[in-house]
Amino acid sequence: MSFSEVPLNTRNWVIFPPLPSAQSAAAKLNELAAAGVNDAFVVKDAAWRNAISLGLYANAEMAERRVREVESKSVLGTRIELLPRKGTDYYYVIRSEDADALKDLDTIKQAYPNSELSRVACRS
């Protein structure tokens, strides 16, 4: 059995991946500013420490436009990460070829009284 947690509402984050140190992140930020990318900052949060944030966007099109804009200034290596919106609900995609394993989901649901359980056909 495998499962994945999927947020219902997300934002698109354009970032330059984490660099090895705060000094290298500061140097990269200076390079970006010299290239004309001024609306960026170094991320301080542990999971993304020393990454360079280039903005949060409501949809993929806007984020892709930002990536193209930055690339037009010869800044390569950015990527788009999906981030859950604050307060969003999640759904779990559970895959199993064993039908008996899925029977345990009713037991698991009891631990989460506000959850909903439904089965959907797999996408082909």
Summarised one tens digit per residue, pLDDT across range 8-21 is: 889 999 999 999 99
71: tokens are: 């690339």
Top-level CATH class of 9-84? Answer: alpha beta
**Residue 54 · residue 25 · CB < 8 Å:** no
Summarised one tens digit per residue, pLDDT across range 77-105 is: 999 999 988 888 877 777 777 767 667 77
- The residue written with tokens 């020393």 in the block is 50
Q: Structure pTM? A: 0.73
In the chain, which residue ranges form alpha helices assigned H by DSSP? 22-34, 60-71, 99-103, 105-110
How many Å apart are CA 5 and CA 90, to the nearest integer? Answer: 7
CB atoms within 10 A of CB 24: 13
